[in-house]
């Protein structure tokens, strides 16, 4: 993820309300070495997940949504806004040490004696994809509850009079639940481009190795992240040199492996409107144009995921109901704007 990571909270933990309130603070206080695309605006992070999501999904100012973009308050629930993580940042509050939520630990280097095989790395990557597919499906499942049985808008399940709560499995309105599933899936998708060598390049002035793994320079969206299909990619579709970084809060676990710090392109400045980038701060991000590649890969795939989510709604609920549900999710006043006239 593009943020510092704390030790994980657990679903069903005692004192859930207090934990939900202090989670952002705990994340912000972690050591900078445990970073990923940022969800906070401090300690060298610049809310990168939020800015990527806004660049990908925001409607133009003053323009009503046509279903392909989110109006301001609804977008704030997906992307986060001042003082909140949003759905896309939720895994950094309660799944911080769950590697599958961030596509971590699928590290591999084609060199004799490397401690992980290609097969082990591929299994870990497929576990990440499976988790993100589950989150995507949870969002589609919850979205149906924004309508009544007769197809009308369910106001109590679709209003945004107060912010959604996305931490620790606390249930909420169905619009919030749908956005949470979608946003948690987006988090891992965006992290894939920051944490892997899918789109980036190695430093040309240093030998390849764990500190300078090869870069694949591949385009987005990655076919490995086709979440809407519900099917895992084939192991044979995973490039031989694909790697994500090893991340662990336990010392020495990632010794002699391609580590998170070797690959991540987590932090830098992102324009939340245009998606342009500047001032990358990690070594891999400063190499070539890797931070820009990671950000634009994440933006491109975020747009793909929302288009696929809309298609999944139509396939699950029928074209008319699916379009109405997409309207509810993207509009700030769905009872007014999404009711058939």
Structure tokens at 275: 């998606």
Q: What pLDDT, on the 0 to 100 scale, is given for residue 299? A: 98
Q: How far apart are CA 117 and CA 287, in angstroms?
A: 27
pLDDT score recorded for residue 167: 87
**pTM for the predicted model, two decimal places:** 0.90
- Helices 174-195 + 118-143 axis angle, to 10: 160
pLDDT of residue 23 exceeding 80:
no
What are the Cα distances from residue 178, in Å, to 31, 191, 326, 341? 32, 20, 10, 25
Q: Of all residues in the chain, what percent carry a pLDDT higher than 90? A: 83
**Per-residue pLDDT tens digits for 306-333:** 999 999 999 999 999 999 999 999 999 9
Residue 1 has pLDDT above 80, yes or no: no
Span 50-109, pLDDT tens digits? 999 999 999 999 999 999 999 999 999 999 998 888 999 999 999 999 999 999 999 999
| All residues at 6 or more sequence positions from 55 whose CB lies less than 8 Å from its CB, including other chains | 270, 271, 272, 273, 274, 275, 299
Q: In this structure, what is the dihedral angle of CA atoms 51, 62, 306, 144, given to the nearest 10 degrees?
A: 120
Long-range contacts of 313-316 (CB under 8 A, 24+ apart): 313/140, 313/143, 316/140, 316/144
pLDDT at 2 over 70: no
Q: Give me the mean pLDDT over the 18-46 stretch.
A: 48
Q: Check pLDDT > 70 for residue 30.
A: no
């Amino acid at each position: 993820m593009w943020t510092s990571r704390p030790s994980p909270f657990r679903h069903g933990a005692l004192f859930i309300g207090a934990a939900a309130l202090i989670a952002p603070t705990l994340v912000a206080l972690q050591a900078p070495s445990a970073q990923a695309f940022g969800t906070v605006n401090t300690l060298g992070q610049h809310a990168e997940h939020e800015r990527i999501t806004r660049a990908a999904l925001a409607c133009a100012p003053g323009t009503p949504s046509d279903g392909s973009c989110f109006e301001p308050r609804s977008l704030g629930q997906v992307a986060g806004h001042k003082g909140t993580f949003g759905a896309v940042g939720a895994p950094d509050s309660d799944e911080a040490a769950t590697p599958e939520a961030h596509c971590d630990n699928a590290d591999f280097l084609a060199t004799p004696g490397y401690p992980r095989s290609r097969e082990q790395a591929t299994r870990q990557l497929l576990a990440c994809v499976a988790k993100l597919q589950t989150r995507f499906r949870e969002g589609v499942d919850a979205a149906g509850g924004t309508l009544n049985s007769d197809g009308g808008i369910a106001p109590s399940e679709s209003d945004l009079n107060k912010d959604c709560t996305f931490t620790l499995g606390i249930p909420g309105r169905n619009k919030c639940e749908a956005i949470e599933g979608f946003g948690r899936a987006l988090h891992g998708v965006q992290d894939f481009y920051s944490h892997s060598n899918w789109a980036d390049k190695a430093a040309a002035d240093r030998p390849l190795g764990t500190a300078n793994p090869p870069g694949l320079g591949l385009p987005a969206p990655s076919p490995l992240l086709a979440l809407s299909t519900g099917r895992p990619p084939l192991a044979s579709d995973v490039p031989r040199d694909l790697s994500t970084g090893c991340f662990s809060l336990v010392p020495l676990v990632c010794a002699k492996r391609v580590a998170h710090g070797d690959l991540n392109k987590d932090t830098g400045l992102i324009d939340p409107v245009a998606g342009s980038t500047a001032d990358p701060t990690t070594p891999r991000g400063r190499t070539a144009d890797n931070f820009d590649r990671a950000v634009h890969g994440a933006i491109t795939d975020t747009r793909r995921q929302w288009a696929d989510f809309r298609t999944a709604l139509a396939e699950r609920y029928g074209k008319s109901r699916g379009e109405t549900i997409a309207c509810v999710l993207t509009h700030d006043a769905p009872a007014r704007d999404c009711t058939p006239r």
